[in-house]
Structure 1
Amino acid sequence: MNAFYNDLGIGDVLLISLKEIEKEKRVVERKGDVARLYHKDSGETAGYHIFQATRYGTVEGRGMLPITNELKELLQKALEENGFQEQIQFPTQPAFVVGFVKDKKKHPDADKLSVCQVDTGEETLQIVCGAPNVDKGQKVPVALTGAVMPTGMKIKKSKLRGVPSNGMICSAKELAIADAPQEKGILVLEDKYEVGIDFLLQKQRLAH
């Protein structure tokens, strides 16, 4: 699940993504301030667009937002007041955390790829990364397996040129952060970020 908000770009609209569903399979149902996106065959909810979102609660920040209690309350209130009965199953763990690159080696079969060992607090993950600026000793935002990116892409365990990769080290652009640089490269975090903790929540708190 992820939440996205940019009042300067698209107005007072909160975008909630729950599942990855192909565009050609999506159907929209609109009731009042809420549009529900769902799979036309299975009926599974893919996400919600909450229009006039700040009528239902406070929205802090722009870009991808942490799933806070305040955001959960806003979403449930908007759904109930606009005639939707669905109870959202909120994630119990963050999908984006701060990682620490413990080691970096060249991919054995691809010059532009690096094989990184990344401490995410709970465990060390092997992640194949194509960013030119990734390096040992960095703190970085990591999308864990199961995370849904702003584009709707779901992060899955994979193999890149034969090497297993679990998760993704993210750029500012991939996280839809405002004023993200256009040049390629992962987002390198300041040392004050704490490894293993929800990246989006820390970003929001450090912005104040």
Structure 2
Amino acid sequence: MIATYNTNVGDVLMLITANDRGEKVNFERKGKVARIFIEETGATVAWNIFEAKSLLTDLSGNGQVKLSSDDVEILNKELGKSGFSDVLVHDSQPKFVVAEIVEWKITQTQIIFISVKLMLVLLIQYKLFVVHNASLGLKTVAALPGAMMPNGALIFPGALRGVQSYGMLCSARELELPDAPDVRGIIELSSALAAGTAFDSETMWQA
């Protein structure tokens, strides 16, 4: 679940729970809660919580926010109070993590298939069209499903030319890090960092 707070459209907390894949959506509102769903299937893809600060007083700024388990419990009570039976699930896993490249190759279509070691030594494939500095053992940053990039792009599981993809390797520019280099390529981190560690730009990034 991706949570964003947007004061530009009022005191609204937006919760994105699934990828709508560009399908036509509609909404129903009850009290302070609006459910956004795919018209054809009725599947819920997002929630808008109006007057959000009356429920979560610490909300501030604009953009992605982290919700605690207590926050999610409060929101679930509001959903129930408004007449919805759905239950939001709290996700405490970090969405930007240190990743280690353990395998990679370039195919004839010039897509690079990269196996990345993450938490629990899990091997996941990531696809990039151009990677100038990919190498075995490189420590970099992976944006996992449920991440929101600084430009607002959302990361969901998907397929690239028929091959499953579970995230994206990131450049310093894509992460909008200070003094990010102009050269293209994924961010390079210290080899001492452990794969699966939550990425902290203040302590792990140097231009």
Regarding TM over 0.5, the answer is yes
Q: Greater Rg, structure 1 or structure 2? A: 2
Percent identity of paired positions between Structure 1 and Structure 2:
19
- TM-score under structure 1 length normalisation: 0.66
* Aligned twin of 2:4: 4
Is 1:64 aligned to 2:36, yes or no? no
Is 1:90 aligned to 2:89, yes or no? yes
Moved more, 186-195 or 19-28: 186-195
* Aligned twin of 2:115: 117
Matches within 5 A, 1:13-162: 13-21=12-20, 25-57=24-56, 58-59=58-59, 62-81=62-81, 83-90=82-89, 94=93, 96-103=95-102, 105-111=104-110, 113-122=111-120, 123-132=122-131, 135-136=134-135, 137-144=138-145, 147=146, 154-156=156-158, 158=159, 160=161
Instruction: Report the alpha carbon displacement of residue 186 of structure 1 after superposing the two structures with TM.
Output: 6.9
For structure 1, the residue ranges without an aligned partner over 5 or more in a row are none
For structure 2, the residue ranges without an aligned partner over 5 or more in a row are none
* CA RMSD, 1 decimal: 4.2
User: What whole-Å deviation, never above 9, does each CA across 1:107-156 have from its counterpart, x for those lacking one?
Assistant: 12134x33322111221222222254653423303324xx4766567313
Change (3 A) 1:132 1:172: closer
Change (3 A) 1:176 1:116: closer
Q: In the comparison of the two structures, how many residue pairs are matched?
A: 194
Q: 1:132 touches 1:185 (CA, 8 Å); kept in 2? A: yes
Q: 1:97 touches 1:120 (CA, 8 Å); kept in 2? A: no
**Greater RCO, CA 8 A, separation 6+:** 1
The DSSP-based 3-state class of the residue aligned with 1:110 is coil
Instruction: Report the alpha carbon displacement of residue 69 of structure 1 after superposing the two structures with TM.
Output: 1.0
Moved more, 128-137 or 33-42: 128-137
Q: 2:95 touches 2:147 (CA, 8 Å); kept in 1? A: no
